[in-house]
């Protein structure tokens, strides 16, 4: 009995001096003293060893001991709970937040969208087609039959098991596919990725992006082509930019032209970007060749049309002052994130 009472005394002192540092240490306290296998239960279990005449006194001592432990637990719990709430209230709302990383559009996408959006204002609608194409839609239907020398300028990647399957060299394949549907008139803009078997350098890549356009209806003339492209240049590059057409050759258009704009960097005086000519080559264009219309089942006596095609990377390089086309496809976040505000 004496021994037990001195133990209880020692435990009571431990309880009295206890302060919980956090919810965990409070829980440890609860398990140690008030748990099913805890000290309070164990001490009370000693009742059976206490002589009958001392049972009453022992019982009272033990009730006091239990109460001490319970009260300590309750006050500490209240204090810890308050501390938690206090910690929440102590958040300093004036501190700058942790910035969330925001995504951004790729510069090529930004430029493509700008081009497309200008033509949409002239009622052109977007048409898309496959990047893996057959020989007919990429070459033959466009008046480039198998032995045409112009095919050399658009060498691409072929399937070794079936050379009639290739990666398209331009988005003109979409124009053929749309013409084959024979729902006239056609007024489409065709953005997309194209491929060429070219050595990769700062200025050229084996894949790049194009936007091509096609307008077919009765009485479409070269004047319509020029007017459409003048509008595009004004909207895209501004009022002050001059335009010139140079005669050119494409197998799928006749007559054909290349369109240059005056260099906006040197204002036509000549600089490194325009190779001292004062002009920048922007796109190829022309009146759709009658053979191409025939290949798609359209009557060239009744319908005429114009087509044009431009690269997306070149104007993006100019607009954003980028000097190496390879940056567009390296996926370096340090490069790409610079366009997030644009």
27 or 281: whose CB is closer to ligand PHE?
281
Q: Quick check: 220 and 324 in contact, CB under 8 A?
A: no
Strand stretches in 16-78, DSSP E: none
143 or 253: whose CB is closer to ligand PHE?
253
| Dihedral over alpha carbons 12, 14, 16, 17 (to 10 degrees) | 160
In the bound complex, what is the minimum distance in angstroms from residue 92's beta carbon to ligand PHE? 59
Q: Could you count the other beta carbons within 10 Å of the beta carbon of residue 44?
A: 15
In the bound complex, what is the minimum distance in angstroms from residue 105's beta carbon to ligand PHE? 24
Q: Scanning residues 96 to 155, which ones bind ligand PHE (CB under 6 A)?
A: none
In the bound complex, what is the minimum distance in angstroms from residue 188's beta carbon to ligand PHE? 12
Q: According to CB under 6 A, which one of 212, 225, 236, 303 is a site residue for ligand PHE?
A: 212
15 or 310: whose CB is closer to ligand PHE?
310
250 or 303: whose CB is closer to ligand PHE?
250
Q: Could you count the other beta carbons within 10 Å of the beta carbon of residue 197?
A: 12
**Distance, CA of 263 to CA of 288 (rounded, Å):** 28
Q: According to CB under 6 A, which one of 285, 293, 312, 325 is a site residue for ligand PHE?
A: 285
Give the torsion sign (CA, 235, 327, 130, 342): negative
Q: Within 13 Å, how many C-alpha atoms sit on residue 201's CB side? A: 4
In the bound complex, what is the minimum distance in angstroms from residue 332's beta carbon to ligand PHE? 28
| Dihedral over alpha carbons 107, 326, 235, 214 (to 10 degrees) | -110
In the bound complex, what is the minimum distance in angstroms from residue 228's beta carbon to ligand PHE? 13
Tokens of residue 99, six digits: 């910035």
29 or 252: whose CB is closer to ligand PHE?
252
14 or 258: whose CB is closer to ligand PHE?
258
In the bound complex, what is the minimum distance in angstroms from residue 170's beta carbon to ligand PHE? 3
* SS3 state of residue 318: helix
Q: Scanning residues 158 to 187, which ones bind ligand PHE (CB under 6 A)?
A: 170, 172
Q: What 8-state DSSP symbol labels residue 337? A: G
Strands 243-250 and 207-217: unpaired
Question: Which residue of the chain is nearest ligand PHE when measured via CB?
Answer: 309
**Distance, CA of 139 to CA of 136 (rounded, Å):** 6
Does 228 participate in binding ligand PHE (rule CB under 6 A)?
no
Q: According to CB under 6 A, which one of 107, 191, 251, 284 is a site residue for ligand PHE?
A: 284
Q: What 8-state DSSP symbol labels residue 267? A: T
Q: Which of 174, 169, 177 is nearest to 148 (CA)?
A: 169
**Distance, CA of 276 to CA of 268 (rounded, Å):** 9
In the bound complex, what is the minimum distance in angstroms from residue 234's beta carbon to ligand PHE? 20
Q: 320 to each of 108, 234, 342, how far by Cα in Å?
A: 10, 18, 10
Q: What 8-state DSSP symbol labels residue 104? A: -
In the bound complex, what is the minimum distance in angstroms from residue 136's beta carbon to ligand PHE? 15
Rg of the chain, C-alpha, whole Å: 41
With CB under 6 A as the contact rule, which of the stretches 7-15, 122-130, 280-288, 289-297 interacts with ligand PHE? 280-288
Q: According to CB under 6 A, which one of 143, 253, 262, 304 is a site residue for ligand PHE?
A: 253
Angle between helices 222-237 and 107-120 (to 10 degrees): 130
Does 286 participate in binding ligand PHE (rule CB under 6 A)?
yes
In the bound complex, what is the minimum distance in angstroms from residue 229's beta carbon to ligand PHE? 11
Q: Scanning residues 296 to 335, which ones bind ligand PHE (CB under 6 A)?
A: 307-309
Q: According to CB under 6 A, which one of 65, 139, 237, 250 is a site residue for ligand PHE?
A: 250
62 or 283: whose CB is closer to ligand PHE?
283
Q: How many residues bind ligand PHE (CB under 6 A)?
A: 11
User: What is the binding site for ligand PHE (CB under 6 A)?
Assistant: 170, 172, 212, 250, 253, 284-286, 307-309
């Amino acid at each position: 009995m004496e021994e037990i009472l001195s133990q209880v005394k020692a435990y009571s002192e431990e309880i009295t001096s206890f302060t919980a540092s956090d919810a965990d240490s409070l829980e440890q306290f609860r398990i140690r003293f008030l748990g099913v296998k805890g000290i309070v239960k164990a001490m009370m279990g000693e009742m059976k060893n206490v002589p009958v005449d001392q049972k009453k006194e022992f019982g009272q001592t033990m009730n006091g001991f239990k109460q001490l432990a319970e009260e300590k637990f309750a006050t500490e719990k209240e204090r810890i709970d308050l501390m938690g709430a206090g910690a929440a209230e102590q958040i300093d709302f004036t501190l700058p937040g942790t910035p969330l990383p925001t995504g951004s559009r790729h510069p090529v996408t930004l430029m493509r969208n700008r081009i497309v959006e200008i033509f949409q204002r002239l009622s052109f609608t977007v048409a898309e087609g496959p990047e893996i194409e057959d020989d007919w839609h990429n070459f033959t239907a466009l008046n480039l039959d198998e032995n045409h020398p112009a095919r050399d300028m658009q060498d691409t990647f072929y399937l070794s098991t079936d050379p009639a399957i290739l990666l398209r060299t331009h988005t003109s394949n979409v124009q053929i596919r749309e013409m084959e549907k024979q729902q006239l008139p056609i007024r489409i803009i065709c953005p997309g990725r194209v491929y060429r078997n070219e050595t990769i350098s700062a200025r050229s890549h084996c894949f790049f992006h194009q936007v091509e356009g096609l307008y077919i209806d009765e009485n479409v003339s070269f004047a319509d082509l020029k007017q459409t492209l003048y509008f595009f240049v004004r909207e895209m590059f501004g009022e002050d930019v001059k335009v010139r057409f140079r005669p050119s050759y494409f197998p799928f258009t006749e007559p054909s032209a290349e369109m240059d704009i005056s260099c906006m960097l040197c204002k036509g005086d000549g600089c490194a970007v325009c190779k001292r000519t004062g002009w920048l080559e922007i796109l190829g264009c022309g009146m759709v060749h009658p053979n191409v219309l025939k290949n798609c089942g359209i009557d060239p006596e009744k319908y005429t049309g114009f087509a044009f095609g431009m690269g997306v990377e070149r104007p993006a390089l100019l607009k954003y002052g980028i000097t190496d086309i390879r940056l567009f496809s390296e996926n370096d976040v340090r490069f790409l994130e610079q366009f997030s505000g644009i």
